[in-house]
């Protein structure tokens, strides 16, 4: 058994998809194979129940089923981040307590939002994270992403890191992410335990140069992201740049053409899972888009296309 990573967590922490069978039901056997592939492909840790996991199409009971199935199967081989986002402070705190009790290493939480218009002011956001921080003893990663439609300033994020005991990690995936990461590190200092890159690594090199220490990407090719990050952290930036140039067409295609379907399509193509079903009303990739994704991926020979064969 691998020794669990110790804090501060660093490296490649991809989002695991939620696996469904051809009828749209949870496929827990496929879920476990997905997790095993992601570990074998070099993930330092994984995140579950995120937006790229289709968390918004799961019932509360299904969320708990997936969480327990994954955490029990991982069995502390690598750290697992559980997304516990909810508009309600109390519900989010309860979800986070459950995740910690089940063995999660961290929780990831977006600021409270609902639909296109329901938002709360900065003071209420602070109290939201305070309630959750007080409820648990594991770190919180704040997901700063456009989908929340909430502006989180550098000063505000740094203040929460300094004043709230468990707010320590930040997944920055807004425009000009590198500038925000750089500013957050400058303002927050040592309390910014994990300044991380997101958005499928499309801005990874700029974010690494700005001080990012982790990347939360799609789950299809952790081995490719490792080829960028490993040499960078070893001081071989030129090698990292060359790897980034190789993998960027696939990263771009995932980010701009496929979205959350990409990793499932790659996993099915490589025999990791039997079905790449996404839940309705989400739609499968157009056959031409699917073919384009696989064509680009084959040129790179990622583990995912060989793992299940």
Positions marked active-site: 171
CA distance 18 to 51: 10
Q: Of 291, 204, 222, 155, which Cα lies nearest the Cα of 15? A: 222
38 is in an annotated binding site: no
CB atoms within 10 A of CB 121: 7
Q: Beta-carbon neighbour count of residue 191 at 10 Å?
A: 15
Please list the alpha-helical segments (H only) found in the chain. Answer: 28-40, 60-74, 89-102, 122-135, 154-163, 177-188, 204-210, 222-233, 237-253, 261-269, 287-298
Check: CB of residue 9 under 8 Å from CB of residue 106.
Answer: yes
Host H or E run for residue 305? none
Task: Using alpha carbons, select from 116, 184, 179, 169 the residue that is nearest to residue 147.
Answer: 116
Nearest CA to 279 out of 260, 251, 255, 304 is that of 260
**Annotated binding-site members:** 216
**Annotated binding-site members for pyruvate:** 216
């Amino acid at each position: 058994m691998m020794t669990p990573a110790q804090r501060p967590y660093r490296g490649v922490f991809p989002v695991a998809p939620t696996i469904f069978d051809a009828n749209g039901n949870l496929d827990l056997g496929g879920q476990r194979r997905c997790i095993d592939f992601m570990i074998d492909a070099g993930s330092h840790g994984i995140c579950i129940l995120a937006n790229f996991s289709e968390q918004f199409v799961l019932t509360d009971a299904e969320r708990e089923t997936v969480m327990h199935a994954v955490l029990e199967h991982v069995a502390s081989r690598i750290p697992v981040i559980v997304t516990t986002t909810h508009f309600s402070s109390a519900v989010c705190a309860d979800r986070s307590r459950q995740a910690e009790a089940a063995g999660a290493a961290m929780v990831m939480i977006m600021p409270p939002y609902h639909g296109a218009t329901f938002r709360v002011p900065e003071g209420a956001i602070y109290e939201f994270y305070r309630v959750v921080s007080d409820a648990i003893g594991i770190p919180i990663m704040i997901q700063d992403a456009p989908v929340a439609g909430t502006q989180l300033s550098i000063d505000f994020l740094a203040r929460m890191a300094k004043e709230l005991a468990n707010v320590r990690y930040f997944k920055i995936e807004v425009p000009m992410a590198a500038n925000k990461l750089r500013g957050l590190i400058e303002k927050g200092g040592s309390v910014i335990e994990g300044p991380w890159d997101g958005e499928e690594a499309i801005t990874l090199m700029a974010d690494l140069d700005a001080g990012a220490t982790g990347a939360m990407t799609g789950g299809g090719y952790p081995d490719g992201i490792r080829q960028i990050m490993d040499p960078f952290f070893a001081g071989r930036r030129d090698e990292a740049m060359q790897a980034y140039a190789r993998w960027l067409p696939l990263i771009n295609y995932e980010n701009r053409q496929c979205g959350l379907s990409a990793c499932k399509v790659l996993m099915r193509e490589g025999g990791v899972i039997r079905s790449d079903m996404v839940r309705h009303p989400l739609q499968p990739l157009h056959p031409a888009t699917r073919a384009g994704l696989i064509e680009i991926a084959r040129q790179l020979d990622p583990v995912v296309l060989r793992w299940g064969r």
